Structure 1
Amino acid sequence: MTATEQQRIGQEKTGLVEMAWDPITRIVGSLGIYTKIDFAEKKVVECYSTSSVFRGYSIFMKGKDPRDAHFITSRICGICGDNHATCSVYNQNMAYGIAPPHLGEWIINLGESAEYMFDHNIFQENLVGVDYCEKMVRETNPGVLDQANRTPAPHADEHGYKTIGDIMRALNPLEGEFYREALQVSRYTREMFCLMEGRHVHPSTLYPGGVGTVATVQLFTDYLTRLMKYVEFCKKIVPLHDDLFDFFYEALPGYEEVGRRRVLLGCWGSLNDPEYCDFKYENMTNWGRKMFVTPGVVVDGKLVTNDLVDINLGIRILLGSSYYDDWADQKPFVTHDPLGNPVDQRHPWNQHTIPQPQKRDFADKYSWVMSPRWYDGKDYLALDTGGGPIARLWATALSGLVDCGYVKATGDSVVINLPTTVGKPEKTFVWRIPHDKQGRPLSNAIERNRARTYFQAYAAALALYFTEKAMGEVRAGHTKTWTPFKVPKEAISCGFTEAVRGVLSHHMVIRNGKIANYHPYPPTPWNGSVRDSYGTPGPYEDAVQNTPIFEENPPDNFKGIDIMRAVRSFDPCLPCGVHMYLGNGKTLQKLHTPTAFTGSA
């Protein structure tokens, strides 16, 4: 019997095993990941991403006073509520035809920067980090841990850990030194946000037209003292994670395929420059390109557009495998944008949310998440955010527009300059667009996580610049932080920013002074979308069902660590509890062409 025949017989005996992780997160619906795994081939064959919770914000926003929009929509999420509030305020600024005073906008930027620092830190070090800690690696890849204990850390002099194994032990939950240090960091970064916007995560001083924060030199000094501690922390975490992630590539050849999918990245831009941003739709192309995180759609590693008008008009909401009825026969709210461009029926301005609860069927409808896509004139692209940072850095790098001294986009990289701190000299970090050994652009689990660390440093560097600009306004006597406004009878508007984990847009239609239609689109529907009307899987699904299995455990003791690393690299709203269901070891007959699930899992 040949080796090929033995392998074929082994596959037929093993077949495909159904495995499910549900719930994987509590935020924006309970995320479930359902898979079929071929243990003979050591790969995931199929993946379905589900959400079992319907929220309905787009329904009960109708008829509300537009001025309440940011207070209501911040409650969409208990993690990134301030991102929603900020996006809603941007949206309202456009509807009301106003812009905050410069100082008000700098304060908002400081609050959002603090949110990036807080959230990325706690997720990266206290949740994602556990997937790479000593205890987890010991359970899933003991051979890798042995190698880690023998491997010197190349940047030990910068972060203080002699071996890769030492780094892994420092990441052990509750016990690890670095794990505990990161918890302290999350405390003072949250304080930084509260200094600017009163309360976290639902801001109490953020309004259309600016903020109610009383701006003083002391306020910004209090922020800056905490910020400098974080800047010093960044000088430790960037080399630490570079060492850890580079090691996984070396220890497990082929690991670049874990969580890999085609480079289809979306970034809506964030952190406005008040020198240019007037929130007028007619000028959105120009002020969008002046953002300190540049908007952009990246396809196969190349920048397709960084024009927010094009980005807005290209958004399509497809239903596919989600629990909703179509609205194609409904009269559109908006036929043309303020520039006269036609607006599609499937654009958020024209969306109707018509829930249709039903039994989950993986061959038909199986989730409450719709399928946002970006239409490039030919294809409906299943963009992902890569957890936020990789898309932000990639779009910013390619555009080459940002240059404020502390950060600079070069066309193929982002340069981050951090000044001298109490314990460490000045330091420059360079995030470069990732490629595999064959020179192909690379978006996978490791690079999404790596970008998150670099973006922490990027946000800190920008916050230094924003602090200087805010203090300059106060010292010049420009202490106004809010612009008054009136709600118009009729308006259409949109707001664009980046939530921590990726693209965020709010679209509003006002009629008779009330909200006639309102649709917020955070990163979760983009990343966790289901198979659309054309059968295209969503990013979670696509990334997982391309993932090879490197875990050393047999099927009866399988932890699914490679799958979890793939999913968590997208930062699916702070996963706080992962439960595993093995389907009682149910084995399916392997088919040449994988098919959808035919029953309930």
Structure 2
Amino acid sequence: MSVREVFIDPITRIEGHLALRALVDTTTRKPSEVWVYATMFRGFEVFLRGRPPEDAIHITSRICGVCGASHANASMHAVDMAYGVVPEPLGVVLRNMAFAMTDPLYDHPLILNMLGGPDYSELIVKKLTPRVWADAERTDAPHRDIHGFSKISDIMRALNPIEGKIWQLTVKYQRIAREGGVLIYGRHSHPSTIIPGGISTDLTNAEYLLIGYTYRLTKLTAWAKFLYAIWQDITWFYEEYENYKDQGLTYRRHNMVSGGVFDDPEVYSSLGETPEDIYKNIDKAASKRTIKPGAFVNGELVTKSYKEINLSIMEQVDRSFYEDWAGKFPLYTDKDPEGNPLLWGKQDPAYHPWNKITIPKPGARDWNGKYNWAATVRFVWKDGTVVPFEVGPIARLTVTAYQPNDFGSGNGVLKVTLPRSGGADDLPASVVEEMTLEWKAPQYSTTLQRVLARAFNVVVDVADAWHNVLRAVELVRSGKTKTSRPWVAPSRRTFGVGFTEAPRGTVRHWVIQEGGKIVNYQIHAPTTGNVSPKDKWGMSPFEQSVANSVITEEVPPEKWEGLDFVRAIRSFDPCIACAVHIQVGNIKTIKKMIVR
């Protein structure tokens, strides 16, 4: 057997800090061993200690220049809880409206068409898989009456970077989304108006704000219909090939977590007036979110509870460049605010994020030991089961689809009707019409199904934005224009946990405060768990997806570029700046292959 050692560094097209090493059998074209790892450390959890919790909202948004509002919102929810304060209903609505624009409706098309899309463009497909390109030139696009591209090859040509039509449209429409969010947030990507217990947006001219937002939303509604039709056709075309349908498979049985997003204004605004009240009632509020919280373990939806997800998150550093803190520091707590044991008493509560101490410990990379700047994140269930888990659009849509929701009965299908929309002067006339779109939760998470779920997530986010616009109009017309309630930092020690959904998956923030000062703070970006290193419980999603990919490039092994591997990882929309929160050695770009 001939083995080829493949290094790809960087993998992402946006900010790097992510690398891959794989040992590939040149006969089967499949990896026998895989390492995917983060190459950077950032110390947000360290320098937040001692600061006022409200500062964390604005500091943590700097974790990422794309989804800064996602971190700000997770921090916002954690601080709401720790301070015991929640917004007025209009404050909740404005939070929902702003977030829908600045992160999901901006970032999803960006990764689909500009960061991941080139992997399916004419330039790449024709070069590395010429037979696929030839088929694309012969194949009619099933949804050509919606998106206007006659052949699959026409879509691929439109995905060419810079000069392709889809690429160029994405530049325009991501700007429109950011404009809509900035009307409320004040700026992007680091919102200036988010505060504990509300939002500080000036509503002296509420009509102007709502008209400006709605004008942009009508354009994005047409854009959502256009995008979903395109990626339905790309997915369908590739799944016709046997070697592509299961590319990038993560787990045969779902291991997935969603934190949920888009709060119900009446329910969230009535959670209570103390940290304990908010924690006690948080499941009621979370269950009313448009995108639902929940967790799959080995194919079973084991919980829909925000609190139970919190109790189940474990983080360890056996294979990461950090020092183990367990036993070296007193526990902050071994129970949640209701007295439930952290990690269900099956694992050491020191490894729950409320108790984690971030202690970086740089060292030489050891493929059999420490090799990753991301920690190992696992889900611990009540029966003692411990699993790696996936987050992202496919996870949150699957979790939502299997419980009653605004778009379905819980049978695994989501159906969304988007209204008639104007302003699509550079899109086909067909996308102006009212349209009902459907997504069925797949049996497995694969490269193509993750991409398709992201495209449908745009549809869901547009629908929720419309729901919140209409709710805002009702509140303003009825004179309910207050958005916020004042906060006072409790003098005693209190705890907060904030879950939301960034475009790339669940964001989780934990805060402990005392007297208005942060005692401890921990952050899980979506990529933290997705890229975390392998351990005795298995491989995390990135490594699993590469391990289940076969090289389809129609070139000799010495010319492989790892297209299928990067497609698998890019389908998650990886962001390593978010995931690891010091570059060791010289910065360099590596793409090498060594025959053994």
TM-score (norm: length of structure 2): 0.91
In the other structure, the counterpart of 2:314 is 316
| From 418, 426, 438, the counterpart of 2:434 | 426
| From 341, 347, 350, the counterpart of 2:355 | 350
| From 453, 456, 467, the counterpart of 1:454 | 456
In the other structure, the counterpart of 1:531 is 534
8 A contact 1:323–1:355 mirrored in 2? yes
In the other structure, the counterpart of 1:25 is 12
| From 485, 488, 492, the counterpart of 2:487 | 485
Matched, 1:389 2:377: no
Tell me by how many angstroms 1:28 deviates.
Answer: 8.7
Cα distance in structure 2, aligned partners of 1:469 and 1:160: 34
Range moving further from structure 2, 483-492 or 566-575: 566-575
Cα distance in structure 1, aligned partners of 2:460 and 2:68: 22
Paired letter, 1:346: Y
In the other structure, the counterpart of 1:591 is none
CA 1:26–1:486: 2 relative to 1, 3 Å: farther
In the other structure, the counterpart of 2:279 is 281
Cα distance in structure 2, aligned partners of 1:88 and 1:227: 26
| From 496, 518, 522, the counterpart of 2:521 | 518
In the other structure, the counterpart of 2:245 is 256
In the other structure, the counterpart of 2:63 is 76
Tell me by how many angstroms 1:339 deviates.
Answer: 1.0
Paired letter, 1:237: L
Cα distance in structure 2, aligned partners of 1:309 and 1:28: 34
CA displacement, residues 504-544 of structure 1 (integer Å, 9 cap, x when unaligned): 11111112431110001111111010123x26222111111
Paired letter, 2:531: G
Tell me by how many angstroms 1:376 deviates.
Answer: 1.1
| From 194, 197, 210, the counterpart of 1:220 | 210
8 A contact 1:264–1:300 mirrored in 2? yes
Matched, 1:121 2:92: no
In the other structure, the counterpart of 1:271 is 262
Cα distance in structure 1, aligned partners of 2:249 and 2:331: 38
Cα distance in structure 2, aligned partners of 1:25 and 1:181: 21
CA 1:47–1:318: 2 relative to 1, 3 Å: same
Tell me by how many angstroms 1:123 deviates.
Answer: 1.1
Cα distance in structure 1, aligned partners of 2:259 and 2:106: 21
Matched, 1:93 2:80: yes
Q: Secondary structure at the match of 2:370?
A: coil
CA 1:118–1:145: 2 relative to 1, 3 Å: same
CA displacement, residues 362-393 of structure 1 (integer Å, 9 cap, x when unaligned): 011111110111101322210111xx211111
CA displacement, residues 486-506 of structure 1 (integer Å, 9 cap, x when unaligned): 011221111111111111111
Matched, 1:191 2:184: no
In the other structure, the counterpart of 2:54 is 67
Cα distance in structure 1, aligned partners of 2:482 and 2:470: 17
8 A contact 2:11–2:566 mirrored in 1? no
Q: Secondary structure at the match of 2:257?
A: strand
TM-score (norm: length of structure 1): 0.90
Give the gaps of 5 or more residues in structure 1. Answer: 1-10, 435-440, 589-601
Q: Secondary structure at the match of 1:62?
A: coil
CA 1:447–1:574: 2 relative to 1, 3 Å: farther
8 A contact 1:23–1:31 mirrored in 2? yes
CA displacement, residues 100-146 of structure 1 (integer Å, 9 cap, x when unaligned): 01111101101111120110011111111111011110111000100
CA displacement, residues 397-442 of structure 1 (integer Å, 9 cap, x when unaligned): 1011x22xxx4454211111101123422100111011xxxxxx11
1:438-453 equivalences under 5 Å are 441-453=443-455
CA displacement, residues 218-263 of structure 1 (integer Å, 9 cap, x when unaligned): 211111111011111122121211111110111x213122110212
How high is the sequence identity, in percent, across the aligned residues?
Answer: 37
Cα distance in structure 2, aligned partners of 1:27 and 1:535: 31
Tell me by how many angstroms 1:302 deviates.
Answer: 3.1
Q: Secondary structure at the match of 2:480?
A: coil
Cα distance in structure 2, aligned partners of 1:218 and 1:26: 37
CA 1:444–1:122: 2 relative to 1, 3 Å: same
In the other structure, the counterpart of 2:367 is 362
Give the gaps of 5 or more residues in structure 2. Answer: 272-277, 343-348, 423-428, 578-586
| From 302, 305, 314, the counterpart of 1:304 | 302
Paired letter, 1:203: P
Count of residues in correspondence between the two structures = 558
| From 142, 165, 187, the counterpart of 1:177 | 165
Cα distance in structure 2, aligned partners of 1:20 and 1:327: 32
Matched, 1:165 2:164: no
Matched, 1:573 2:575: yes
How large is the Cα RMSD of the aligned pairs?
1.7
Q: Secondary structure at the match of 1:179?
A: helix
CA 1:580–1:154: 2 relative to 1, 3 Å: farther
| From 367, 374, 377, the counterpart of 2:379 | 374
Q: Secondary structure at the match of 2:358?
A: coil
8 A contact 2:386–2:537 mirrored in 1? no
8 A contact 1:25–1:578 mirrored in 2? no
